């Protein structure tokens, strides 16, 4: 297979490295010619993954048209805010029969569309060709061949399985899924909660608080997911709770680290500059809060975080506000009827 990865940041580099190691003729496109030169001559991406020696057969280029020529599989891996511009430039050169996958964990502003929804409006035959790669997978560990599991979702089973085959190896286990909406939303919404858990960590709150944020975070991720057409079961899989756990607990997570920096008093601007890489959770918090508002979905953690990011509520006050909300039933609508039945029987 001839594979082309668009985006030479942490994740694009790690995924291109897998494809190349798996024996596919792989090209990675990046806009920074110094990164391209370093990959070709030294097999290293010094800015994003300085400690990794990349496959010697991985070819890098800054020529988009040449990168896409004859590609069987095109993988888009840039931050969500960069996707519209890149796609605009890439589309005329994407071969008509190629499979198109993306590994982006964010919404496309200003309409807050899912990435596959956005790509689908422009790509011919999108239902057959389009796939999403998501799951608990930090690039820094993937390049070290730390055992990792991800999921590929597509409306087409054969496309999901073709992408699964392309990436699967002894250290990178790939599952398939049909719920493209749920897989995309799980990977996107967990970044909000990772920011929140990072904040809690930076404020010196305890493990109880972090577990509460993750669990109640998953509940509100699932609620929004259902409202947007996802299967609730997907949130108990790799793209849901799996990615939530890794992002909320790993020192590799840029979202978790950004939360910690905000808690110790850095401004949002200072925080983003210090991380120096994609922190998708920031834009996602605003996008999800807007979607929740439009759809009438309760997302208290997301709303609290939005206020912290806007600077309208200090983090400690946001925690107090969350704790002092009206009392509630844990399992909400569906759970309540089940529990009520049990209580009646007793």
Ligand X SMILES: NC(=O)C1=CN([C@@H]2O[C@H](COP(=O)(O)OP(=O)(O)OC[C@H]3O[C@@H](n4cnc5c(N)ncnc54)[C@H](OP(=O)(O)O)[C@@H]3O)[C@@H](O)[C@H]2O)C=CC1
Contact status: 79 vs ligand X (CB under 6 A): yes
Site string for ligand X, 98-137 (x = CB under 6 A): -----xxxx------------------------------x
Q: Which of residues 87-106 bind ligand 13P (CB under 6 A)?
A: 105
Query: For the window 273-312, what string marks contact with ligand X as x by the rule CB under 6 A?
Result: ----xx-x--------------------------------
- Cβ at position 10, least distance to ligand X in Å: 3
Q: By CB under 6 A, tell whether 243 contacts ligand 13P.
A: yes
- Tell me which DSSP letter residue 26 carries: E
259 binds, among ligand 13P, ligand X, none (CB under 5 to 8 A by kind): none
The CA distance from 6 to 64, in Å, is: 8
Distance CA 267, CA 156 (A): 44
Kindly list the catalytic residues: 190
Half-sphere exposure of 245 (CA within 13 A, CB side): 9
In angstroms, give the least distance from the CB of 176 to ligand 13P: 18
Q: Would the CA dihedral through 234, 235, 237, 243 be positive or negative?
A: positive
Q: Which residues pair with 51 in a beta bridge?
A: none
* Window 168 to 187, contacts with ligand X (CB under 6 A): none
**Using the rule CB under 6 A, is 9 a contact of ligand X?**
yes
Which of ligand X, ligand 13P, none is residue 255 near (CB under 5 to 8 Å by kind)? ligand 13P
Please return the burial class of 242, using the count of CB atoms within 10 Å of its CB with bins 0-12, 13-18 and 19+. Answer: buried
Nearer to ligand X, 137 or 285 (CB): 137
Minimal distance, residue 188 CB to ligand 13P, in Å: 9
91 binds ligand X (CB under 6 A): no
Count other C-beta atoms under 10 Å from residue 8's C-beta. Answer: 26
Angle between helices 315-323 and 300-310 (to 10 degrees): 160
How crowded is residue 310: how many other Cβ atoms within 10 Å of its Cβ? 12
Could you list the residues known to form a binding site for sn-glycerol 3-phosphate, using ranges: 105, 135, 137, 190, 243, 253-255
Binding to ligand 13P (CB under 6 A) within 278-297 occurs at: 280
Kindly report whether the peptide bond that precedes residue 110 is cis, defined as omega within 30 degrees of 0.
yes
* Residue among 3, 86, 194, 291 that touches ligand X (CB under 6 A): 86
Q: Enter the tokens of residue 68.
A: 């896409």
Burial class (CB in 10 A: 0-12, 13-18, 19+), 266: middle
Identify any residues that bridge with 205 across adjacent strands, giving them in sequence order: none
Q: Which of 4, 5, 7, 235 binds ligand X (CB under 6 A)?
A: 7
Site string for ligand 13P, 250-269 (x = CB under 6 A): --xxxx--------------
Angle at 224 between CA 219 and CA 227, to 5 degrees: 125
Nearer to ligand X, 7 or 225 (CB): 7
CA–CA distance, 60 with 304 (Å, rounded to integer)? 42
| Site of interaction with ligand X (CB under 6 A) | 7-12, 30-32, 48, 77-80, 82, 85-86, 103-106, 137-139, 277-278, 280
| Site of interaction with ligand 13P (CB under 6 A) | 105, 136-138, 191, 194, 243, 246-247, 252-255, 280
């Amino acid at each position: 297979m001839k594979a082309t990865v668009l985006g030479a940041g942490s994740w694009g580099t790690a995924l291109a490295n897998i494809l190349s190691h798996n024996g596919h003729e792989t090209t990675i496109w990046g806009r920074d010619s110094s990164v391209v030169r370093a990959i070709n001559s030294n097999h290293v991406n010094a800015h994003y993954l300085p400690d990794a020696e990349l496959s010697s057969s991985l070819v890098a280029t800054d020529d988009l048209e040449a990168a896409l020529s004859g590609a069987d599989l095109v993988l888009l891996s840039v931050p969500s805010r960069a996707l519209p511009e890149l796609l605009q430039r890439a589309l005329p050169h994407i071969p008509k029969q190629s499979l198109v996958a993306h590994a982006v964990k964010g919404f496309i502003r200003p309409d807050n569309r899912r990435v596959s929804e956005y790509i689908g409006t422009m790509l011919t035959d999108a239902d057959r060709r389009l796939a999403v790669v998501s799951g608990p997978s930090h690039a820094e560990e993937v390049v070290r061949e730390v055992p990792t599991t991800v999921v590929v979702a597509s409306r087409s089973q054969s496309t999901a399985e073709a992408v699964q085959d392309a990436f699967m190896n002894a250290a990178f286990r790939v599952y398939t899924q049909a719920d493209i909406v749920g897989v995309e939303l799980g990977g996107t919404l967990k970044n909000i909660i990772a920011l929140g858990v990072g904040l809690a960590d930076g404020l010196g709150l305890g493990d109880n608080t972090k577990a509460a944020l993750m669990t109640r975070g998953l509940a509100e991720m699932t609620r929004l997911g259902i409202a947007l057409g996802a299967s609730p079961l997907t949130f108990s899989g790799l793209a849901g709770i799996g990615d939530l756990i890794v992002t909320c607990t790993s020192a590799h997570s840029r979202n978790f680290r950004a939360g910690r920096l905000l808690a110790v008093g850095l401004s949002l601007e200072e925080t983003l500059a210090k991380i120096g890489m994609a922190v998708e959770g920031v834009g996602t918090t605003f996008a999800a809060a807007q979607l929740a508002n439009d759809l009438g979905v309760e997302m208290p953690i997301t709303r609290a975080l939005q206020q912290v990011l806007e600077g309208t509520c200090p983090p400690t006050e946001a925690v107090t506000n969350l704790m002092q909300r009206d009392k509630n039933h844990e399992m909400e609508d569906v759970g309540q009827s089940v529990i009520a039945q049990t209580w009646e029987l007793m």
